[in-house]
Amino acid sequence: MTETKRTSGERVLPVAVVIGSLLLWWGLAAAHVFPESLFPDPLAVGKGVVEEVITGRLFNDLVASLFRVTAGFLLAVVLGIPLGLVLGSYGRARAALLPAVNFFRNLSPLAWIPFAILWFGIGDSPAVFLIFMASFFPIVLATVAAVATIPMVYFRVAHDYGLTGGEMLMRVTLPAIAPQVITVLRVTAGLAWVVVVAAEMIAGRDGLGFAIWDARNGLRIDLLVSGMIVIGLIGVVIDRLLFRLTRIPSVRWGYER
Amino acid sequence: MNDKLLCLDDISHSFGGVEVIRRFSLDIEPGEFVAIVGPSGCGKTTILNILSGFVRPASGRVGCEGRARMVYQHDGLFPWLTVAENIALGLRHIGDPAERDRQAADLLELIRLRGFEGHYPHQLSGGMRQRVELARALAGDTDILLMDEPFSALDYLTRLRMRRELALMLEERPRTVVLVTHDIEEAAQLADRVIVLSDRPARIRCELRLDLARPRDLTHPEVVDGIHRLLFELGLEEDRSDVRGDVFVDA
Amino acid sequence: MIRSSMARWIVGAFGLLLVLGLLRFKPWQEEVVRPRQQLTVGFLPVTCHLTCPVTDFATKTSTSTRFQSQRFTDFPTVVEAIKGGRLEASFMIAPLAMKMREQGLPIKIVYLGHRDGSTVIVRKDIPARSLVDLRGKTFAIPSIYSNQYLVIRKLMEDQGVGADEIKFVQMAPPDMPAALAAKAIDAYFVGEPHAAKAELDGSGRVLYYAKDIWPHFISCVLVVHEKLIKEHPDVVRDLVRGIAESGEWAETHRLAAAKVASPYFRQDEKVVRYVLTQPKDRVSYRMLTPTDEDMLVIRDMAIKVGILKTPIAMSDLIDREFIPKDIRPADIDMAGAGK
Ligand SMILES: Nc1ncnc2c1ncn2[C@@H]1O[C@H](COP(=O)(O)OP(=O)(O)OP(=O)(O)O)[C@@H](O)[C@H]1O
Ligand SMILES: [Mg+2]
């Protein structure tokens, strides 16, 4: 529980790696191994970032992408966990639906792009739909697996102590699956963030993914790289944030056994 | 308080093709402490499950007039609740929060885990966990305590200590107890009546009564004698002539 | 404990969504009321579609229909948007428009996007003088449904190069300059500015301008859905006039056109300016009436290479009803251009 104090090496090393890669990048660019307009140096990319920040496009794109990811992901969580609970608890429903869920889980969300446009047009909703499709099925499957592996003894204890119905759900089933569900949430949030880049290829006017595609179309590799950097950084922030879920005291047990 | 009756009348049960219990009967007096010993896989847990109502026997009658709680063979504490929250589960029926807190504090005192209220089960030792589980089962006003090898996972010394604590706790909060155990010492040291079961399908091979106040010393002559008797009955020791206590060999 | 911290997370998650939603949709900004009619027109950031953003810019201030240009990044998405009924007018490559028509999608070609404006680029270190020298080489095209592909196939035939003597690969236009620089491909034929890019990078040189192969080469057309023609013929009329006048203006105001269009394309103004001026006739925005002759050539080539199956009738495909008689350059106020 208590964070062990990080040694100075642990703190210095990641910074050194970042600086090292920047130097390598800069060296490659300065040596003109690749044409300059196809392989910009860090300075040009930095200028690109500044340009995007000043025009307000970066903030706009960031908000657009985060909005879509949050909406699609939350929708998947809000619908996926209950469905997983139902499938995990009722053998018949599981037998009927699990093969279908497994089937869809294997489809790349990008294959849905034509249908996303057909059903949702262009703009936010098809992207939200694709992110939903990317995260929903893994969440359902993980919830089903988690429910199926709850030790019987917990339900018996709950019964002995008079917990029934909704209380059983809130005080036994949900807390018992929480650690596994949190793990899958971390994984799928990363997945959703990856998918947004592809989802935003669908004609929109904004979004970090769109900005990357657009920069590519616009022959602006510097803006493309600055978009990549922002996407990578936000991805790290999202994972750090969701990592804190595993720090909730009442789920620690799931990670310390 | 404990004027209810716990009884099994001509019970038979099998799982699939495996006959586990055949025509089994047992009556337990209110306030009695009954220990059940027997070879592994003979059906002890199944008998407890039938007593608690979790398993419906294929035939026979179960009488259980009173509220029963089980202490499980494997960790039955909720790992997502703290010590205090787990114990509070046993006090759910008490409406008045102040009274509930008072009783929870009493129980913590009883199991000597003051200061550990906010700890989660995975932060406790095995013995501490078992004490919390006992406290949770003893909390409130249930009548019957069903225990399935509650101390089997503990080391020898802790086991000795836990037996003592169970005896002391029962002194404060008397219950009708059915204790399933592999540990003959444990049975002899705690029970009013030890029931020795045969191999599957379970029958009562013999009963041993021990009329002695708890807590008992392990070296008390009557306890030592009970251990000898039980070992003999299980075919693990030669017959001894200086038998004490009453042994009834089942017909 | 679980309840309270979980509850905090749940509230936090939905709070985040709410905040993002507010930042995104800015409900405090009052919607500008637009009494005027409005139509969204799709385009890709290629010079062939230049008149689309120019028309958007021109109708910002005009009093007729407002044309909102919507940038797409690829043609399949454009097609899907039209099929889904989310887009009623767009620029697209001519054979693809025919393919859609063949599939029964009720669209009509009402105007052309441009003339010329495509270029064959070869690697600088390959001393090719014609397609004959490109035998056995890898050649990139944007799509087999593109006019560029049809024209190259025709030229190969003319020069006596067999259909399988050049290795064709389909590639997204923005990737072509990089692929050429990496020597993954040896030559490519694409709409500007993706050809000029390799020239500016120094990795490629011009082998043919489109006009050298096929004078007044056509690659892109303006299509509209028949539903729009039926329900709002006046809007279609406004649109074709707007595009035509924007073209006339761009023809004579090339530097200004580069300035207007580059933010819409989100491309470097220098690149757009280069395409529009080096040389001046690299691309042209005049003579944009789709004639049956031109379209028949494209159709027959498409059938020949197997991308179309039926000889669709020109009367089904083309609607010249909306083309204005006299085309004057659009009156464009350069204030606010380039942003
Ligand atoms: N749910 C079940 N399904 C099928 N067979 C079962 C089930 N539960 C118990 N059995 C069988 O019944 C027999 C008795 O099991 P039980 O758990 O009652 O034994 P036990 O006396 O408690 O053993 P141990 O001392 O090892 O805990 C075993 O042979 C086991 O195979
Ligand atoms: Mg057992």
- The backbone torsions φ and ψ at residue B176, rounded to the nearest 5 degrees and listed phi first, read -85, 130
Residues C230 and C194 in one domain: no
A124-148 helix and A91-105 helix, angle to the nearest 10 degrees = 130
Q: Are B156 and B126 found together in one domain?
A: no
| CA pair distance C21, C18, nearest whole angstrom | 5
Give the structural domain span for B130: 78-141
| A42, A152, B71, B174, B192 from B52: Cα distances, Å | 71, 15, 11, 19, 21
* Domain presence at residue C233: yes
Of B68, B76, B92, the CB nearest to A157: B76
Q: Do C13 and A113 touch (CB under 8 A)?
A: no
Q: Which amino acid, one-letter code, is at A220?
A: R
Instruction: Please enumerate residues of A whose Cβ is less than 8 A from a Cβ of B.
Output: 151, 153-154, 156-157, 159-162, 171-172, 175-176, 178, 249-254, 256-257
Residues C124 and C248 placed together within one structural domain of the fold:
no
Domain shared by A89 and A173, yes or no: yes
Average pLDDT over all residues of chain B = 83
Q: In whole angstroms, what is the distance from residue C164 CA to residue C266 CA? A: 38
> What is the pLDDT averaged over residues B218-238?
82
Residue B67, domain member (yes or no): no
Q: Residue C269: inside a domain, yes or no? A: yes
pLDDT, mean of residues B113-129: 88
Looking at residues A29-34, what average pLDDT do you find? Answer: 82
Instruction: Give the pLDDT score at A129.
Output: 92
Residues A114 and A20 in one domain: no
- The encoded tokens of residue A65 equal 């992408």
Instruction: Judge whether residue C264 has pLDDT over 60.
Output: yes
Q: What is the pTM of this model?
A: 0.76
Domain membership flag for residue C335: no
Same domain, B115 and B182: no
* Nearest CA distance, B170 vs chain A (angstrom): 19
Q: Does residue B129 lie in a domain region?
A: yes
Separation of alpha carbons B50 and B53, rounded Å: 5
Question: Do B251 and B150 share a structural domain?
Answer: yes
Residues 16-75 of B with CB under 8 A from A: 52, 54, 68-70, 72, 74-75
Same domain? For C78 and C189 the reply is no
Helix (H), strand (E) at residue A160: helix A152-160
pLDDT of residue B98 exceeding 90, the answer is no
Closest C-alpha residue for ligand 1 atom 22: B45
Residue B183 sits in the same domain as residue B244? yes
Query: Which residues does ligand 1 sit against, CB inside 6 Å?
Result: B 15-16, 18, 20, 40-46, 200
The pLDDT tens digits for A56-98 are: 888 989 999 999 999 999 999 999 999 999 999 888 888 899 8
Co-location of A86 and A112 in the same domain: yes
Tell me the one-letter amino acid at A227: G
Contact state of A203 with C73 under an 8 Å Cβ cutoff: yes
What pLDDT is stored for residue B3 in this prediction? 46
Q: Is residue C115 within 8 Å of residue C280, measured between CB atoms?
A: no
Q: Do C188 and C166 fall within a single domain? A: yes
Do both B160 and B51 map to the same domain? yes
Q: Same domain for B150 and B175? A: yes
Give A58's contacts in chain C (Cβ within 8 Å): none
Are residues A97 and A224 both part of a single domain? yes
Confidence of residue B248 (pLDDT cuts 50, 70, 90): low
Residue C179 near residue C185 (C-beta atoms within 8 A): yes
C300 in the same domain as C178: no
Q: Is the dihedral of CA C210, C214, C216, C217 positive or negative?
A: negative
Bond prior to A249 in cis (omega within 30° of 0): no
Q: What is the pLDDT of residue B4?
A: 47
Residues B50 and B150 in one domain: yes
Q: Which residues of B touch A160 (CB under 8 A)?
A: 52, 68-70
A123: left (phi over 0), alpha (psi -120 to 50) or beta: left
My answer on whether B105 and B147 are in the same domain is: no
Give the chain B residue nearest A251 (alpha carbons): B80
All residues of chain B having their beta carbon less than 8 Å from the beta carbon of residue C2 are: 80
If asked whether residues C141 and C290 sit together in one domain, one would say no
Q: Tell me the per-residue pLDDT of C239-253, one tens digit each, with 9 for 90 and over.
A: 999 899 999 999 888
Q: Is the pLDDT of residue C30 over 70?
A: no
Mutate to test the interface with A, among C11, C43, C77 (most CBs of A within 10 A): C77
If you average pLDDT over each of A27-41, A200-214, B47-61, which comes out highest?
B47-61
Mean pLDDT of A153-180: 90
Q: Residues C240, C311: one domain?
A: yes
Q: Do C175 and C129 lie in a common domain? A: yes
Residue C206's region, left for phi above 0, alpha for psi from -120 to 50, else beta, is: beta
Domain final residue, candidates C183, C213, C243: C213
Together in a domain, B48 and B150: yes
Q: Output the average pLDDT for chain C.
A: 87
Parent domain of C143: 118-213
Q: Are residues C197 and C209 in the same domain?
A: yes
Whose alpha carbon is nearest atom 26 of ligand 1? B40
Q: What is the pLDDT of residues C168-211, one digit of tens each?
A: 988 888 888 888 988 889 999 998 888 998 898 888 999 998 88
A180-194, B36-50, B87-101: range with highest mean pLDDT: A180-194
The reply to whether C128 and C111 lie within a common domain is: no
Confidence label for A175 from pLDDT (cuts 50, 70 and 90): very high
Cβ–Cβ gap A153/B80 under 8 Å = no
- The domain total for chain A is 2
Residues A73 and A131 in one domain: yes
Set of chain C residues whose Cβ sits within 8 Å of the Cβ of B81: 1
> How are strands ordered across the β-sheet holding B18-28?
B18-28, B6-15, B59-64
With helix as H, strand as E and coil as C, how does chain C read? Answer: CHHHHHHHHHHHHHHHHHHHHHHHHCCCCCCCCCCCCEEEEEECCCHHHCHHHHHHHHCCCCCCCEEEEEECCCHHHHHHHHHCCCCCEEEEEHHHHHHHHHCCCCEEEEEECCEECEEEEEECCCCCCCHHHHCCCEEEECCCCCHHHHHHHHHHHHHCCCCCCCEEEECCHHHHHHHHHCCCCCEEEEECCHHHHHHHHCCEEEEEEHHHHCCCCCCEEEEEEHHHHHHCHHHHHHHHHHHHHHHHHHHHCHHHHHHHHHHHHCCCHHHHHHHHHCCHHHEECCCCCCCHHHHHHHHHHHHHHCCCCCCCCHHHHECCCCCCCCCCCCCCCCCCCCC
Check residue B2 and give its pLDDT.
38
A126 prior amide bond cis, ω within 30 = no
Burial class (CB in 10 A: 0-12, 13-18, 19+), C334: exposed
Q: What pLDDT is recorded for position C182?
A: 84
In a domain, C310, yes or no: yes
Report the pLDDT averaged over residues C22-28. 84
Does residue B25 lie within any of the structural domains? no
Number of domains in chain B: 2
Assign residue C152 the CATH number of its domain.
3.40.190.10
| Residues C112 and C222 grouped into a single domain | yes
Regarding whether A69 and A9 lie in a shared domain, the answer is: no
Does the residue C78 lie in any domain?
A: yes
Q: Binning pLDDT at 50, 70 and 90, where does residue B250 land?
A: very low
Structure tokens at B210: 């021990």
The chains in contact with chain B, meaning 3 or more Cβ pairs closer than 8 Å, are: A, C
What's the gap in Å between B130 CA and the centre of ligand 1? 23
**pLDDT at B238 > cutoff 60:** yes
Among residues C198, C213, C228, the one where a domain terminates is C213
Asked if B152 reaches chain C (Cβ–Cβ under 8 Å), the answer is no
Please count the structural domains in chain C: 2
- A149 and A175 together in one domain: yes
Q: How much is the pLDDT for B36?
A: 92
Q: Is C305 in the same domain as C234?
A: yes
**Closest Cα to residue B56, out of B7, B14, B17, B5?**
B14
pLDDT in tens, C287-318: 888 999 889 988 998 898 888 888 999 988 99
Question: Helices B126-138 and B97-110: crossing angle, nearest 10°?
Answer: 140
Closest CA to B12 of B57, B55, B50: B57
Domain with residue A92: its CATH number is 1.10.3720.10
Q: Is B181 inside any structural domain?
A: yes
Q: Give the pLDDT confidence score for residue C35 in this predicted structure.
A: 55
The percentage of chain B sitting over the pLDDT mark of 90, rounded to a whole number, equals 10
Strand partners, B249: B206
The answer, yes or no, to whether residue B66 has pLDDT greater than 90, is: no
For residue B87, tell me if it sits in a domain.
Answer: yes
pLDDT of residue B240: 56
Q: Which domain holds residue A9?
A: 1-35
Nearest CA to ligand 1 atom 25: B40
Query: For A183-198, what is the mean pLDDT?
Result: 89
The ligand 1 atom at the shortest distance from the C-alpha of residue B73 is 27
Same domain, A13 and A113: no
Q: What is the CATH number of the domain that holds B182?
A: 3.40.50
Shortest alpha-carbon distance between residue C12 and chain B (Å)? 22
* Mean pLDDT of the region A152-163: 88
Q: How large a percentage of chain A has pLDDT more than 70?
A: 93
For residue C1, the model assigns a pLDDT of: 46
In a shared domain, residues B162 and B232: yes
Domain boundary among B141, B157, B181: B141
Average the pLDDT over B80-99 and give the result.
87
Strand duo C89-93 + C38-43: pairing: parallel
Interface partners of chain A (CB pairs < 8 Å, 3 or more) are B, C
